[in-house]
């Protein structure tokens, strides 16, 4: 995952420099971090977690700034959503809707950061 996280960090810094202020590898070890954290211009952050099995979570933590959180993930705990197991927490943990996020990490990150850009700019 290190190479993937490094590539995603580069993508964020070069294509979304208007909303991404810094990047960091979080947790785990230097060669096997748990996630990638992107710091954003409003003081919030986006955590990207990817597993070798294809599980993912893109978590935009904005509770301190606006009392909101947004998370795209594929944990199989919302079978009522038509895109199960993929789903989107839209503003809080309880509001769960379908998600059409790409399975390709680079495309997915562009989708997520595009939404963030539209919210922040």
Beta carbons of 89 and 62 less than 8 angstroms apart: no
Judge residue 89's burial from the number of C-beta atoms within 10 Å of its C-beta, 0-12 exposed, 13-18 middle, 19 or more buried: buried
What confidence score (pLDDT) does residue 1 get?
A: 66
H or E element at residue 20:
strand 20-26
pTM: 0.93
Residue 59 β-bridge partners: 47, 71
- CA nearest to 38, candidates 56, 18, 55, 63: 18
How is the chain split into domains, by residue range? 2-120
What confidence score (pLDDT) does residue 66 get?
A: 87
Token look-up 């070069």 returns 14
Phi-psi region of 96 (alpha: psi -120 to 50; beta: other; left: phi over 0): beta
Low-confidence ranges of the chain (pLDDT < 70): 1
Question: What does the DSSP 8-state code read for residue 121?
Answer: -
Question: What does the DSSP 8-state code read for residue 102?
Answer: -
What confidence score (pLDDT) does residue 73 get?
A: 96
Beta carbons of 1 and 54 less than 8 angstroms apart: no
Taken in order 23, 27, 29, 35, the sign of the CA dihedral is negative
For the chain, the residue count is 121
């Amino acid at each position: 995952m290190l190479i993937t996280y490094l590539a995603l960090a580069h993508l964020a810094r070069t294509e979304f420099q208007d909303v991404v202020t810094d990047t960091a590898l979080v947790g785990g070890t230097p060669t096997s971090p748990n996630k990638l954290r992107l710091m954003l211009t409003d003081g919030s952050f986006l955590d990207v977690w990817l597993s070798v099995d294809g599980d993912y979570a893109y978590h935009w933590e904005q509770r301190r700034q606006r009392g909101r959180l947004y998370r795209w993930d594929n944990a199989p705990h919302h079978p009522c959503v038509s895109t199960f197991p993929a789903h989107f927490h839209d503003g809080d943990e309880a509001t769960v809707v379908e998600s059409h996020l790409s399975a390709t990490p680079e495309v997915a990150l562009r989708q997520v950061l595009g939404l963030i850009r539209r919210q922040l700019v």
